Structure 1
Amino acid sequence: MADIYLMRHGAYEGHRPGYHAPLDATLTAKGRDQVRHSLPLPDGITGIVTSPVLRARQTAVEIARHTGLPITTTGLLAEWRAPSIVLGHTPDTYPPAYRVWRERRLAEPSLRCGDGESLTDLHTRASRCADFLHDTAEEYGCLLAVSHTVFLGVLTHLQRGPAAFTLAAGDPWPFAERRLVPHLPGPPGG
């Protein structure tokens, strides 16, 4: 099995702790510098797989510009889909419905807040993503997957089930940090 490297996108416009960034938030000059400083990539990487969210795509394009590696985009690597009522908000301005959902999310992981993704939905997508990355690496060789802090955390803690969300949220992934995960864990019982 070929290695899989996971990487968080670079810093983006408007970032602040607890902030639910809009999908069109772009990389900053600092974010582009962070990406360039993550180079060179380890030997053997044959391609980049990225989230379709703008800041991740821009990170992948910046890496490809310096390495010549091909890019594939997949929605499986997209960040957790926060409900639209919290996009652009920080914890001190979260609406009451979102606060209630946050209190109940672990006890009822299939519960959604508005148009957001439930913890069960997120875990299912992360499991599908792990399979996709394994299959792609098996066919094409070592990969770099560019995504987002919460999704990467869920992906690396799949065995914890939907509760992986809280582990991911409590284990920040620094901007443009790359981690080797030679074998992504499977889901519980998998």
Structure 2
Amino acid sequence: MGAGSLADIWLMRHGAYDGHRAGYHAPPDAALTREGDEQVHRSLPLPADITAIVTSPVMRARQTASVIAHLTGLPVVATSGLLAEWRAPSIVLGRTPDTYPPAYRAWREHRLTNPTLRCEDGESLTDLHTRAQRCASFLHHTAQEHGPLLAISHKLLLGILSRLAEGPTSFASAARDTWPFAERRRFTAPSE
């Protein structure tokens, strides 16, 4: 298709999902709620030039993409792990801050001063930033192939994509960002 640029990419957070609450690390199979489905419906219409959808493989993002594809007729041209949410350590999945184990609490204290540090099987801040850089390249190349894109992903990854120049510690500002469910923002990061 047309030669896309990063200005031709819109980032969107999935709709509300089952079990969501502050500080909660949702398991990958957390599904959209009825409210989440309604949020996705209200997010339409999309910008007129969008021609394709890419999505995270995590269920709530795939469901969001499916609803949008059904309502608009746009194709989902890729499902990529590059768009997946930050991989939290399995010891915190389904838990809230008051029940975080000591190993995770210790990691949180040191993650910004040592972004290469991992907590058990979780993704380090450096790992996440590197994946976000690869994701930006993937989005750019996919837009070149398919035209303007809607990329559906998760709050932390979207926040990192929006702050690539800040490096791995952009995790902290991405976590504080208010990115409502089903909200779209234009991707304005520089191309490679």
Identity, in percent, stands at 69
Q: In 2, Cα distance between the equivalents of 1:140 and 1:73?
A: 14
2:114: which partner in 1? 108
Q: In 2, Cα distance between the equivalents of 1:80 and 1:33?
A: 25
1:95: which partner in 2? 101
TM-score normalised over the length of structure 2: 0.94
1:129: which partner in 2? 135
5+ residue gaps in structure 2? Answer: none
- Kept after mapping to 2: 8 A contact 1:47/1:144: yes
1:141: which partner in 2? 147
The two structures, once aligned, show a CA RMSD in angstroms of: 1.1
Matches within 5 A, 1:31-42: 31-42=36-47
TM-score normalised over the length of structure 1: 0.95
Deviation of the 1:172 alpha carbon: 2.4
5+ residue gaps in structure 1? Answer: none
**Tell me, what secondary structure is at the counterpart of 1:162?**
coil
2:168: which partner in 1? 162
Deviation of the 1:164 alpha carbon: 1.0
**Tell me, what secondary structure is at the counterpart of 2:53?**
strand
**Does 1:23 find its partner at 2:28?**
yes
Choose from 159, 165, 180 the match for 1:153: 159
Choose from 71, 78, 81 the match for 1:75: 81
Deviation of the 1:136 alpha carbon: 1.1
- Kept after mapping to 2: 8 A contact 1:158/1:185: no
Q: In 1, Cα distance between the equivalents of 2:146 and 2:55?
A: 15
Q: In 1, Cα distance between the equivalents of 2:146 and 2:154?
A: 23
Q: In 2, Cα distance between the equivalents of 1:21 and 1:52?
A: 14
- One-letter amino acid of the structure 1 residue matched with residue 20 of structure 2: H
How many residues are aligned here? 186
**Tell me, what secondary structure is at the counterpart of 1:111?**
coil
1:119: which partner in 2? 125
